[in-house]
Structure 1
Amino acid sequence: MKAFFKDVFRRMGILFVSAVLFAILSVFIFSFFAGSLLSPTREGIKKDSFLVLNLTMNLTDRPAEVSFEDVAREALSEERSIPSYHLREVVDALAIAAKDKNLKGIFITGGFSPSGYGCGYETILEFIRALQSFKQSGKKIVGYVHSPQQLDYLVYAQCDELIMDPAGTMLLQGLASEQLFFGDAFKKYGVGIQIVRTGRYKGAVEPFTNNRFSSDNRAQIQDLLDQRWVHYLKTVGDARSISWPDLNSTFARKFLWKPNDAATQGLVDRVDDFGGVIERLIELGSKDEEGNTFAQVEFGDYVERLRPSPLDDDGEDQKIALVYVEGAITDGWGDDGQSVGGDEISRRIRGIRKNTDEYKAIVLRINSPGGSVSGSEAILFELERARDAGLPVVVSMGPVAASGGYWIATASDKIFAGPQTITGSIGVFGILPNIESLGADYGLNWDTVKTNRSSDIFSLSRPKSEEEIGVIQEYVDQTYDRFLNLVSGSRNLEKVKVEELAEGRVWLGRDAYELGLVDELGGLSQALEEAVHLANLGRDYKIEEFPKIETPADALAELLDIRSAPPKPFPSKIQNPLVNRLTEAQAFRNLLTDPFGLYGILPWYRSQLGFKPWGINL
Structure 2
Amino acid sequence: MSRGLKNLLFVLLGFGISIFFMSILAFFALVSFALPSVVVEKNSYLELNFSGKLVEAPLSEFSGLFAGRAVGEMEFIKYLKAIDMASRDRRIEGIVINGDKTFYNRAHVEEIREALDKFKKTGKPVYGWFSNGTNTNYSILLSADKIYAPDTDSASLTLSGYNVTVPYFAEGLSKIGVEASAIHIGDYKGSYENYSRSAMSNELESSYKKLYDDVHNEFLMSISKYRAIELDKVKALFESDKTVMITPELAKEYSLIDGFYYFEDLKKFCNPNYKGVNIYDYSKLLGSIEQSSKIAIIYAEGVISDGYAIGFNRDVVVYDVFRKDVREIIKNPSIKAVILRVNSPGGSALASELMLQELIELKRHKPLYVSFGPIAASGGYYIGCKGDRIFTSPSTIAGSIGVVSVLFNYVELAEKLGINFETVKKYKYDDLFSPNKKATADEISIMKNSMDKIYNEFTAHVIEGRGIEAAALKNIAEGRAWSGSQAVANGLADEIGGLFKTLDYAAVENNIKGYSILSYPRPDGLLDTLSSEIGVMFGENKVLYNKIFGENIIAIITKFFIEKSGVPSTIELYANPVR
State if a TM-score over 0.5 links the two structures. Answer: yes
CA distances 1:219-255 after superposition (whole Å, capped 9, x unpaired): 1111221221121122123222223333333344230
Is 2:521 the counterpart of 1:547?
A: yes
Aligned residues of 2:48 and 2:102 also touching (Cα < 8 A): no
**Residue 301 of structure 1: which of 281, 295, 304 is its match?**
281
Matches within 5 A, 1:29-178: 29-35=28-34, 43=39, 45-65=40-60, 70-72=64-66, 82-112=71-101, 119-165=104-150, 166=152, 167-178=154-165
Tell me, in whole angstroms, the C-alpha distance in 2 between the residues paired with 1:212 and 1:573.
34
Percent of matched pairs sharing the same residue: 28
Counterpart Cα distance in 1 of 2:422 and 2:304: 34
Residue identity in the other structure for 2:47: V
Q: Which deviates further from its counterpart, 346-355 or 471-480?
A: 346-355
- In 2, distance between residues paired with 1:370 and 1:19? 43
> Once the two structures are superposed, what CA deviation does each residue of 1:121-178 show, in whole Å capped at 9, x if it has no partner?
2221011111111112111112221213321111112222222133422222321111
Cα separation, 2, equivalents of 1:420 and 1:26? 44
Residues 248-257 or 127-136, more deviating: 248-257
- Measured in 1, the distance between the counterparts of 2:437 and 2:159 equals 49
- SS where residue 108 of structure 1 aligns? strand
Structure 1 residues 540, 109: CA separation in 2 closer, same or farther (over 3 Å shift)? Answer: closer
The 8 Å contact of residues 374 and 595 in structure 1, kept in 2 or not, is answered as no
Could you list the per-position Cα deviations for residues 589-609 of structure 1 after superposition, in whole angstroms to 9, with x for gaps in the alignment?
99xxx9761011112x23xx2
SS at match of 1:544: strand
The alpha-carbon distance between structure 1 residues 184 and 557, as it changes in their structure 2 partners (threshold 3 A), is same
Q: Which residue of 2 aligns with 1:206?
A: 193
One-letter amino acid of the counterpart of residue 446, structure 1: F
Gaps of 5+ in 2: none
Q: Verify the 8 A CA contact 1:343 1:378 in the aligned structure 2.
A: no
Unaligned ranges ≥5, structure 1: 2-6, 75-79, 288-293, 610-618
Whether the 8 Å contact between 2:99 and 2:141 is mirrored in structure 1 is no
User: In structure 2, what is the Cα distance between the partners aligned to 1:275 and 1:517?
Assistant: 47
CA distance in 2, matches of 1:209, 1:567: 33
Query: Judging changes above 3 Å, is the alpha-carbon distance between structure 1 residues 450 and 512 closer, same or farther for their aligned structure 2 residues?
Result: same
Letter in 2 for 1:597: T
Query: How far did residue 11 of structure 1 move?
Result: 11
Equivalent in the alignment of 1:338 = 315
Mapping 1:204-353, distance limit 5 Å: 204-251=191-238, 252-254=240-242, 255-283=244-272, 287=273, 294-308=274-288, 313=290, 317-334=292-309, 336-353=313-330
Q: Tell me by how many angstroms 1:381 deviates.
A: 1.6
Q: Residue in 2 aligned with 1:387? A: 363
Residue 280 of structure 1 aligns with an amino acid whose one-letter code is F
Matching residue of 1:530: 505
Q: Which residue of 2 aligns with 1:195?
A: 182
Q: Residue by residue, what CA displacement relative to the aligned partner does 1:374-428 show, whole Å, maximum 9, x if unpaired?
A: 221221121112123x211111112221111111112322222223322111111
Aligned to 1:481: 456
Alignment map for 1:365-404 (pairs within 5 Å): 365-388=341-364, 390-404=365-379
Write out per-residue CA displacement over residues 42-85 of structure 1, whole angstroms, 9 at most, x where no aligned residue.
Answer: 54x322211122141323333345665x31465xxxxx664433
Deviations 1:271-299 (A, max 9, x none): 2323422321224xxx1xxxxxx122222
Question: What TM-score, normalized by structure 1, do the two folds share?
Answer: 0.81
In the TM superposition, residue 532 of structure 1 has moved relative to its aligned partner by 3.0
Contact 1:476 1:598 in 2 (8 A): yes
Provide, for residues 505-524 of structure 1, a one-character-per-residue CA deviation record: whole Å limited to 9, x for no partner: 12222222232222333222
Match of 2:392 in 1: 417
User: Which letter maps to 1:260?
Assistant: E
Structure 2 equivalent of residue 519 of structure 1: 494
Q: Deviations over 1:443-477 (max 9, x none)?
A: 11101111111111132111121111111111111
TM-score by length of 2: 0.86
Change (3 A) 1:323 1:261: same
Instruction: Decide whether the 8 Å contact of 1:183 with 1:209 is kept in 2.
Output: yes
Question: CA 1:560 to 1:150, structure 2 compared with 1: closer, same or farther past 3 Å?
Answer: closer
Tell me if structure 1 keeps the 8 A contact 2:38–2:281: no
Equivalent AA in structure 1 for residue 268 of structure 2: E
The 1:224–1:184 alpha-carbon spacing in structure 2 relative to 1, beyond 3 Å, is: same
- CA RMSD between the two structures: 3.4
Counterpart code for 1:364: L
Counterparts of 2:278 and 2:106, CA distance in 1: 25
**Contact 2:182–2:193 (8 Å) recurs in 1:** no
Residue aligned with 1:203, SS: coil
Contact in 2 for aligned 1:343/1:375 (Cα 8 Å)? no
Residue 359 of structure 1 aligns with which residue? 335
Alpha-carbon distance between aligned partners in 1 of 2:233 and 2:447, rounded to the nearest angstrom: 53
Q: Given the superposition, is the C-alpha separation of residues 42 and 476 from structure 1 closer, same or farther in structure 2, using an over 3 Å criterion? A: closer
Task: Work out which of the residue numbers 562, 565, 572 in structure 2 matches 1:599.
Answer: 572
Match of 2:481 in 1: 506
**Letter aligned with residue 350 of structure 1:** R
Q: Is the 8 A contact 1:111 1:148 kept in 2?
A: yes
C-alpha contact (below 8 Å) 1:318/1:541 kept by paired residues: yes
Contact 2:66 2:533 in 1 (8 A): no
Q: CA deviation at 1:99?
A: 2.2
Structure 2 counterpart of 1:25: 24
Task: Give the conservation status (yes or no) of the 8 Å contact 2:218–2:394.
Answer: no
Q: Match of 2:27, as an amino acid?
A: F
Contact 1:325 1:367 in 2 (8 A): yes
Partner of 1:613: none
Does residue 1:570 correspond to 2:544, yes or no?
no
Contact 2:79 2:279 in 1 (8 A): no
